[in-house]
Each structure stands twice: as structure tokens, then as C-alpha cells.
Structure 1
Amino acid sequence: MEATQADSEIEEEHLLNFVVNSLDEELSLDLGENVKVTAETLYEVLAGASAGGTSINHVCETTDDSPHANTVRGHLSDQFELDSVESVGDTLLQRDTLETLPDRPVEVCADLHLDPYYGDEDETEALYSSQAKRGTTTFHAYATLYVRVRNKRYTLAVRQLVAGETTSDVLGEFLELLDGLDLSVKAVYLDRGFYNSTCLKLLYAHNYAYVMPIVKWGETIQKAVLNRHKAVEFTV
């Protein structure tokens, strides 16, 4: 019997249930006996904010019967640390992805995402600082590692960068992760946020072919590129 269009479509509710159930299995919440809010509700708010590219505040304010945003943040902050959440997230991302990828060398990409922060200066201690962009030097910063196959993206890892961390720190983690996966890498493609001498040394040490936009100025780093790698000029 042929599948109907309805059978082959993924409904929003089904996807939400899948995400919430996966989170609940891997990151169970111990809320105690007298807590009225449920783990399912907390994860629904979190998934809604993530999928919509918005905030917990926005979801709680615009969704009927949602708990207060402070309640959601309070429970999640009390239960989890960033490192453990990132580790579980990577496991969930890689669990099915590696079986889906083709049995041939693949292209891997590393991107740096900087979301400008314009809030209270007293609350920037844990945020990432970088060169001025769009009127600020403070950002919510995230790095992603993913495989690109036929213009489709398969995410392997996500990292948040906080105050004191550098792009070379996260690139080192990404390359260590690649070394440990059963994955043949054709080349690593990096955005210009990873263009510095430490990142170049890491790529050389891990022996990955790579493509990265470079900045023409900077005599020291230019020598590092030309001495160890073949530099090709192109316009992005």
C-alpha cells in the first residue's frame, strides 16, 4: 500500500514530542515532590525557544498555561552544567548522523556564530568578547561542527564560547572529536573567525586538509601560512 502525503509528513507536534522525549531520556530532571511544573513542560518551553530562535521569556509570555520564565530558567540552571549539556547534546546529534553519512570521505565545516549583546554591562561577565561588530564587542557566541553532503547539513557538535575562551580552544575540541569518530574527512572548511596562528598550528598538528578565508595583512601569520601550507587567494 502506498503511503499517503499525510503519512510522509512530519507534523510540528510529532517533532516536538520527539525532542522532548529525547531530552527527558538523556537529561532527566529531579524536580522534587512539591514542584508543580513538570519536566515535559520545561523541555517544551526550551524546545520552543530554540526552534523559534527566540527566548524563554518570549515563549512563556506568548504561550497559554506556560510557567513563569524565571521558573523555567531556575529549574534548568539548578539541574545542569554547561559541559554536561553539551556532552549529551553531541551524543544525540551524532547518534543517528554517523549511520546516515555516506561511506566515503566527507567535507566537514566549522562555523563561528556571534549574536550581538546590547544588554546590561553588569551581566556580560560570562559572555564572549571579540572585535567590534554591529555596535558592540560583547556576544553570545557559539561554534558548530557539521558535515556537508549534497548541500545538506549534519551537525556533529555545538559549543558555547564564554569569557576567556578562544576560537583555538573550541577548534582543538572539534579536531579531537573528529579524530575519535569513525569518519573519513576529505577537508575541513572554516570561517574567518578561526583565522589565527594557533588554529593554523592545530590544523597542521592534526594533519587535516583545510580551506579558510585569510586576511592579507599580518606579516607573522602570513609567514606561518606560507611556510606550512599552500595559500590560495580568493574573494568571499
Structure 2
Amino acid sequence: MKSEDQLLNFLVNRLDEEVSLNLANNVEIDAEDIYEALFGATADGTSISTLCNSSEDSPSANTILYHLQTKFEPERLERLANTLLRRDIVELLPEQVEVCADLHLRPYYGDEDDTDGLYHSEESVGPLRSTLATLYARVRNKRYTLAVRRLDDGDTASSVLAEFLGVLDGLDTEVRAVYLDRGFYDSKCLTLLQTHNYAYVVSIIRWGEAIQQELSEGWSRVIQHDLTGKLDGHSWTVEFPVNIDCTYLNGKYDDHGAARHGYAADAPFIETPREARYHYSKRFGIESSYRLSEQAMAATTTRDTTMRLLYVVVSLLLQNVWRYLHYEYVATPRRGGRRLWRWPYKEFVNMVRRAAWMALAVRRAVPANRPPDDRFYR
């Protein structure tokens, strides 16, 4: 990349090519102005209002927020988000990939009267807000977001998984295995995985006395387990192998120093419980993507779930673009694989931030009530 403004142009063009804001002819701003402020606030970790108030060439913050709130409907935003996230990234996927899905749940601490439409988790007593499901491809220890889904009241883990499996079915690459967190552990999800014939590893929940007993005694082993599901008055039973991995470290876990981890695992390359635990640990990299999002996400106090989802999508898009540009334009092609030169995500975000500041003419000086003296020069 030759300059920082090229990074901002790349991001703005990605949104402008996929999203049509259909602004009126008498509007004094264009879509590029809106997107520059959106990416600038995301990279700066501040709100659009704060960024615009400190900028000389930026449109009014109210104007930008109005267009963002009125032009993005929840269903349209999710479709556009998944198109944007997968754009360019599919070119980097090898012939065979491993994918991970995650339910990111955040507790709601507001008034109970305002909980209509919020997703309820079966593992939680109260309702939850800002609940997202994300689908990632894992390639050479890099994580590419393939899809994101906001959960509302009435959604289930199986309905989300069905959408994600549809995304995987549409890829031109083979899925080696699917790694799911414990939020997807139920009879419907396991049935879906078996129906789509995907190899999988799912962390189990201690539901029922039988599995609780199995996870409280014995050494590493593989057992057969089953779950019963019900739908429209019909019930069925799904059977699957459970790999129980027993880890011993004196003084770390309990009085006996043993911890047992259970995984519903059905994959041809997994032969032992230790291998099931090792392969499942690959999905832990998802948490680093959430940490990167905290480094670059627009701040807001709005309760509008669509706007909050938009900010999350833009944050995830920044990560995908960084990884794509790092591999395609920064890494050096060579025999045996490209050489990835060091380009930290924080540096990439800072470059986008500075480009947005220049484009919006962010204030770089403050008025003084008297001229600066010699201490301000060198």
C-alpha cells in the first residue's frame, strides 16, 4: 500500500459498491462522506457525533446518523453484511477449511419492560441483549468472518446453525470440520450436522444424570450418548459419540487434581479424546477477534439494535480487509508460501484513523488566548 488514504478508499469503495443509499438530489452530502465518517469513528473508537463535531469538512452528525438509521433495515443489513464480509475473502480460502461458529451473549441489565424481542438463552435465567452468532473460517491460524447473525426472541441455535450450514454449502471449498461452542449443543443442532454430513466437535453441557455421572468419574474414554428432541408434537432421538478427556494436574482442578472435558465429536481424523480436545481448542481464536473488535468499534449509546449491529459489522469488516490486504498486497510471494511481513492490526487501524482525520479535516489545533512562548518550539 502506497499511502494511508488508499486504505480508506478501499474500505469506502467496498461499502459504496454493495450498498445503495439512494440519497435525494438536493442532499448536500454523498455516500462517500457518510462512509468516511463511519470508518473514521470505527477506527478512532469514538462516536460519529464526537468525530463530526471536531471536524471542519465533515457533514452534520445528525445528517449522517439519520441516513444510517433510515437506509439500513435489519434484514437488509444482515444480507449486505454477509456479502461484504465474504467479498475477497473467499479467494483466500484453500481447498479445505475448518470453520467455527460462536454465540456471543451479553447480559441485559435494563428494565424488564424493555426486554421485548431480546433473545433468551436456555442456560441463562434472564434475557440477553446484543446477542450475535458469528461464523469463521480458520486458515493458517488466521480467522476470516464469513457470516454474522443477530438473534432475536424466538430464534434458536438450530435456526442459526441451519443458516450457517447453508452458507457453507454454497462455498466452493470443502469443509473439513465444524467446531461449535456449547450454545449449539442440542438435539436439533446435532441432527443438522449429521444430515449435512459434516464432521464436527461440540462442547457438551451436563444435561441429565447419566452424562453428569460419566463426567465425574473414570479416565479418558469414548462413550455413546443420545439426546431426545421434540418438534410439533413429534419426538426423535439422536445418537452421537462423546469423547471424555481426563486431565490430571495436582492442585489445579479439585482435591483429586482431575478435570474431565466432554465433546460430542464425530470426525474421521479424531481417534482419541485428547485429539478431540486439541481440535476443539482451535475455535478459541474466535475470542481474539472479539478483542480486536474492542480496539476498533464506533462508540454509541443508542438502543437501536440495527445501528449497534452495523457498528459490529464494520468492525469485523475492518479485520477481514486487514487480513486480505496483508496477504495479497503486503506479503511477499515466494516458493513454499508467502512471507508475511509484520503489519499489526493496531497499525492498520491507526492508518485508517489518520486517513479519516485528513479526509474530514479533524481539528489538529486549539485556539490560544496568547501566543506560545519558546517552550513550544525547538
- Bucket of the pairwise TM-score, normalised by the shorter protein: 0.7 to 0.9
SS in 1 for 2:155: coil
CA contact (8 A) 1:109 1:147 kept: yes
Match of 1:223 among 226, 232, 240: 226
Could you list the runs of 5+ residues in structure 1 that have no partner in the other structure? 1-5
**1:148-177, Cα deviation, whole Å (9 max, x unpaired):** 022101221111112221111111001011
Specify the code of the residue in structure 1 equivalent to 2:7. Answer: L
**Structure 1 pair 72/122, CA: closer, same or farther in 2 (3 Å)?**
farther
CA contact (8 A) 1:107 1:187 kept: yes
**Structure 1 pair 27/150, CA: closer, same or farther in 2 (3 Å)?**
same
1:194 maps to which residue? 184
State the alpha-carbon separation in 2 of the partners of residues 48 and 127 from structure 1: 30
Q: CA deviation at 1:141?
A: 1.2
Match status 1:85 vs 2:77: yes
Q: CA deviation at 1:79?
A: 1.7
**1:13-59, Cα deviation, whole Å (9 max, x unpaired):** 4333222221111102112133344322322333345556x57xx23
**Structure 1 pair 31/118, CA: closer, same or farther in 2 (3 Å)?**
farther
CA contact (8 A) 2:101 2:179 kept: yes
Looking at CA atoms only, which structure, 1 or 2, has the larger radius of gyration? 2
Match status 1:174 vs 2:185: no
CA contact (8 A) 1:144 1:157 kept: yes
Match of 2:197 among 186, 192, 207: 207
**1:187-233, Cα deviation, whole Å (9 max, x unpaired):** 00011111122111111111111011101223699523995322112
CA contact (8 A) 1:143 1:161 kept: yes
**Structure 1 pair 20/219, CA: closer, same or farther in 2 (3 Å)?**
farther
2:92 maps to which residue? 100
State the alpha-carbon separation in 1 of the partners of residues 49 and 141 from structure 2: 35
Q: CA deviation at 1:121?
A: 4.7
State the alpha-carbon separation in 2 of the partners of residues 140 and 24 from structure 1: 26
Identity of aligned residues (%): 53
2:49 maps to which residue? 60
1:29 maps to which residue? 21
SS in 2 for 1:229: strand
Alignment length, in residue pairs?
A: 223
Match of 1:112 among 100, 103, 107: 103
CA contact (8 A) 2:94 2:173 kept: no
SS in 2 for 1:77: helix
1:157 maps to which residue? 147
Could you list the runs of 5+ residues in structure 2 that have no partner in the other structure? 212-224, 229-236, 246-260, 262-280, 282-378
2:6 maps to which residue? 14
Specify the code of the residue in structure 2 equivalent to 1:61. Answer: T
**Structure 1 pair 175/15, CA: closer, same or farther in 2 (3 Å)?**
same
SS in 1 for 2:146: strand
State the alpha-carbon separation in 2 of the partners of residues 213 and 83 from structure 1: 30
**Structure 1 pair 68/136, CA: closer, same or farther in 2 (3 Å)?**
farther
State the alpha-carbon separation in 1 of the partners of residues 178 and 43 from structure 2: 27
CA contact (8 A) 2:49 2:62 kept: no
- Using CA pairs below 8 Å that are at least 6 residues apart, which structure has the higher relative contact order? 2
- When the two chains are superposed, the root-mean-square deviation of aligned CA atoms in Å is 3.0
**Structure 1 pair 201/75, CA: closer, same or farther in 2 (3 Å)?**
same
**Structure 1 pair 68/196, CA: closer, same or farther in 2 (3 Å)?**
farther
Q: CA deviation at 1:69?
A: 5.3
1:3 maps to which residue? none
Specify the code of the residue in structure 1 equivalent to 2:49. Answer: C
State the alpha-carbon separation in 2 of the partners of residues 85 and 72 from structure 1: 17
Q: Which moved more, 1:88-97 or 1:113-122?
A: 113-122
